[in-house]
A and B are shown apart, each in its own frame.
Chain A
Amino acid sequence: MKRVVITGLGAITPLGNSVEAFISGLERGDNASVYMPEWEKYKGLRCLVGAPARLENEMLIPRQNRRSMGRLSIFAVQAAQQALGDANLPASTAGSGRLGCVIGSTMGSAESIAEAFETLLPDNDLSKLTSTKFFQCVSHTAALNVGQFLGITGTVMATNAACASGLQAIGAGYDLIRTGQQDIMLCGGAEGLHPTVVGSFDVLFAASSRYNHSPKETPRPFDAARDGLVCGEGSGILVLEEYEAAKKRKARIYGEIIAYNSFGNGSHVSESSREAITSCINETLKRADLTAADIDYINAHATATIQGDKEEAAAIRQIFGEKVPVSSLKGNIGHTLGASGAIELIASLIMMEKNLIYPTLNLKDPDQDCRGINHVMARQEKKIDILLKNCFAFGGINASLICKKPA
């Protein structure tokens, strides 16, 4: 098998539209949660807090590319451009047939889907639909738009496993490179914030609703006063590259992916399972030929739901005890769903580079059932050589990935 390294990063996040802006926001301990007055009109929506990203510079995308893009695809294209630039790869690489992209999202653009139905349903009239609405709504919209915009002639693929989509995309790209099918992969996830998306969590009592008038206090991963997640949006894209080629061209290497795994829980469509999470992480460690003691930092999925956080904490407790520092970035950027795995892996790689850990924002009092693990509650300097990233999704889909500092 070939070795796979990460050589480029790009991010559109609720804390800013570049990796630098995102990391600066984490440095300051910012929380992107804000009250969303435009959601007040939805009956039954209890959560009125979101973590929006800023849509900007979209007119720089030529109209004939932009017309098939919803909000999330614009984020994905902008993050992909940043990542390619960061990797210092010429644009011509995209058409070599050796570069591909795998980009996931929970669904197609929620905003575009809502617009399509609002157009179609009042008169049941299909003739009012524009030709490109379909391309904004399909589940592979981010991948197809990045592929078309950059002129990618290698593999173009989408992973659609809700909140594990971004990490699954990186895992798929890792497999394509290590098996020699592709040399370079643009991988990650994208998501657009929309009340219908928030509503899908709200109906399950999984979205935060007690902090509508103090949005900076939510979400609260692992905290005793947590009451659910806050939806965010954006895109994270990473350039994955075959190690020897990256070394030869003297690319900046952020980290090497040494193991990835995604397992289903086979037990419940929405409830997290500590046994399944434990099994997923243990299999990832096994594939990396590592033990729990080798991990220096865990970037948790921890979205601040009552049920999910306690199950993840239980799995981490069972495997790592109190030895390995754990933090979640959801307190800063909310849950960017299909983008979260990629956006949070980007931050984790920067933490590894800087040998420091950003804390879990809003974690003041670890809940009784989230204790027994090493919560990072204040910025902490620590040598990180190997990190673990977790992502868990509705549908009982878990994913974990391990990255190593470049030698």
Chain B
Amino acid sequence: MASEQEIIKMVNEVFVESFEIDKAKLAPEANIFNDLGLDSLDIVDLVVALQKKFAVTIRDDERVRNIRTLGDLQQFILTIKKEIGK
């Protein structure tokens, strides 16, 4: 399984590849909507891109609704990967 740092790096890659966001903006405290500029359509695409990148199914996971910052998302993916790894 990928290390924690590798997973965080892969999450950040999605923001660069799918949403053309400058790497320098990808701080854990960055708000996905206000700081990174994603909107409702982008969230759909973010889920699609993450599912592909990590081979997971998160579309109907209730916890997605509580994600606000990039750090929240990184932690969520780490949790999901751990759950799968169990």
Contacts and interface: CB of A to CB of B under 8 A. Distances in A.
A128 B20 CA distance: 20
A127 interface: yes
A127 B59 contact: yes
B41 interface: yes
A130 B39 contact: no
A376 to B, nearest CB: 48
B29 interface: no
Interface size for chain B: under 10, 10 to 19, 20 to 34, or 35 or more residues?
10 to 19
B44 interface: yes
Interface in B40-86: 41-42, 44-45, 48, 51-52, 57, 59
A63 interface: yes
A132 B51 contact: no
Interface string B7-44: 00000000000011000000000000000010101101
Contact of B48 (A63, A67, A128): A128
B23 to A, nearest CB: 16
A132 B40 CA distance: 11
B39 A127 contact: no
A64 interface: yes
A368 interface: no
Nearest to B45: A130
A116 to B, nearest CB: 13
A129 B44 CA distance: 9
B48 A129 contact: yes
A92 interface: no
Contacts, number: 25
Interface residues of A, number: 9
Interface of A: 63-64, 67, 127-132
23 contacts: A63-B19, A64-B37, A64-B39, A64-B42, A67-B41, A67-B45, A127-B48, A127-B51, A127-B57, A127-B59, A128-B48, A128-B51, A129-B48, A130-B44, A130-B45, A130-B48, A131-B41, A131-B42, A131-B44, A131-B45, A131-B48, A132-B41, A132-B45
A343 to B, nearest CB: 31
Contacts of A127: 48, 51, 57, 59
Contacts of B41: 67, 131-132
Nearest to A63: B20
A63 B42 CA distance: 11
The binding surface of chain A is classed by DSSP as loop
A128 B52 contact: yes
B81 to A, nearest CB: 19
A15 to B, nearest CB: 31
A205 to B, nearest CB: 41
Nearest to B48: A130
A128 B57 CA distance: 11
A133 to B, nearest CB: 9
B40 to A, nearest CB: 8
